Amino acid sequence: MTDTTVAPAPESLLAAPDQATQQEIVREIEEVHAAHARAVADGTYRGGQTLYDFPPYRSSILRHPTKNPKLVDPETIELTSPAFGQRDVAAIEADLTLQHAGEPLGERMVVRGRVLDGWGRPVRQQLVEIWQANSAGRYIHKRDQHPAPLDPNFTGAGRAITDDDGWYEFTTIKPGPYPWRNHRNAWRPAHIHFSLFGSAFTQRIVTQMYFPGDPLFPLDPIYQSIPDQQDRDRLVATYDHDLTEPEFKLGYRWDIVLTGQHRTWFEPEGDHR
Ligand SMILES: [Fe+2]
């Protein structure tokens, strides 16, 4: 069973004193954004490019690709499998509040939306997976040891298959913001990680959904590594009072668009903090 004791943060988990301050990180973000705005103005920005090397997001300096990607023909099996359908995923897997004997703590919520292609057509029978921190901002993961409690009634992972109109829906607990060691006093805005499997291993894409009005947006070098405000906005869910159930849970709406000019921003591979 999970350990719920709260221990003080060991020094080794805190940012080193020589790491940048939040103010310095914000200044660096502004500089990169200003350079981006100049590239847009002089026509050298082609749009939709991922800034793989985003210095305010420190680990991106070390692990972004430095060579052109080498295209390799996938094996036939990789193009056709595995394939998931309604029968492979139980409906209960889309409710993260029902996975244990007791109820998880925190703000119960539902997130519902459609997976669409660039022409607004529904993407059907797609495996959508989510993972997230609990309401205290803690993941069940041995690398997450910051002093916030685990919740014995919350694992933080779920999955669903889109229906014939491309709809998915998850019931969960609103995740809390959590600290990380990018710089001194660094905190991630509350977010839910989303994976869309596609129809084979070669198509999987991953992104994050955020919550409206989060005060940590301007401070977060991961969110800010997306250069265009419109692209950042598309990662933020909308509060939907029609989805909210009286006395029970708050409703958020978030659509995922796979292609085209208004597509959702997806992360480079292996970058799922
Ligand atoms: Fe995260």
Distance 177 CA to ligand 1 centre (A): 9
User: CATH classification of 84-257 is 3.20.20.70, yes or no?
Assistant: no
**Active-site entry in 139, 168, 210, 252:** 139
Q: Residue type at 198?
A: G
The encoded tokens of residue 10 equal 């060991």
How many angstroms separate the CA atoms of 176 and 185, rounded?
16
Identify the residue whose tokens are 């913001």: 177
> Could you confirm whether 191 is annotated as catalytic?
yes
192 C-alpha to center of ligand 1: Å? Answer: 7
Which one from 193, 210, 234, 252 is the annotated catalytic residue?
193
In the chain, what are the domain boundaries? Answer: 84-257
Q: What is the pLDDT of residue 1?
A: 45
> Is position 223 annotated as part of the catalytic site?
no
Ligand 1 geometric centre to CA of 232 (Å) = 16
101, 125, 90: which is closest to 199 by C-alpha?
A: 125
HSE, side-chain direction, 13 A CA sphere, residue 32: 20
Give the closest residue to 219 by CA, choosing from 191, 246, 189, 242.
Answer: 189
Spacing, Cα 72 to ligand 1 middle (Å): 30
pLDDT confidence of residue 265:
80
Q: In whole angstroms, what is the distance from residue 37 CA to residue 181 CA?
A: 28
Catalytic residue, candidates 191, 210, 223, 252: 191
State phi, psi for 185 to the nearest 5 degrees. 60, 40
Kindly give the distance from the C-alpha atom of residue 175 to the centroid of ligand 1, in angstroms, as a whole number: 9
Residue 87: count other Cβ atoms within 10 Å of its Cβ: 7
Catalytic (active site) residue 124: no
Q: Are 174 and 109 in contact (CB under 8 A)?
A: yes
198: phi > 0 → left, psi -120 to 50 → alpha, else beta; which? left
Along the 273 residues of the chain, how does pLDDT read in single tens digits? 445 555 555 555 566 778 999 999 999 999 999 999 999 899 888 766 667 889 999 988 888 878 877 778 888 887 877 778 778 899 999 999 999 999 999 999 999 999 999 899 999 999 999 999 999 999 998 888 888 999 999 999 999 999 999 999 999 999 999 999 999 999 999 999 999 988 777 788 999 999 999 999 999 999 999 989 999 999 999 999 999 999 999 999 999 999 887 888 887 665 556
Q: Give the pLDDT confidence score for residue 229 in this predicted structure.
A: 92
Tally the residues of the chain. Answer: 273
CA of 135 to the centre of ligand 1 (A): 12
Would you state the pLDDT for residue 45?
81
DSSP bridge partners of 46:
none
pLDDT of residue 82: 79
Residue where the block lists tokens 């669409």: 116
**∠ CA 222-159-59 to the nearest 5 degrees?**
20
Respond yes or no: is residue 183 known to be catalytic. no
Catalytic residue list contains 188: yes
Q: How many angstroms does the Cα of residue 228 sit away from the middle of ligand 1?
A: 21
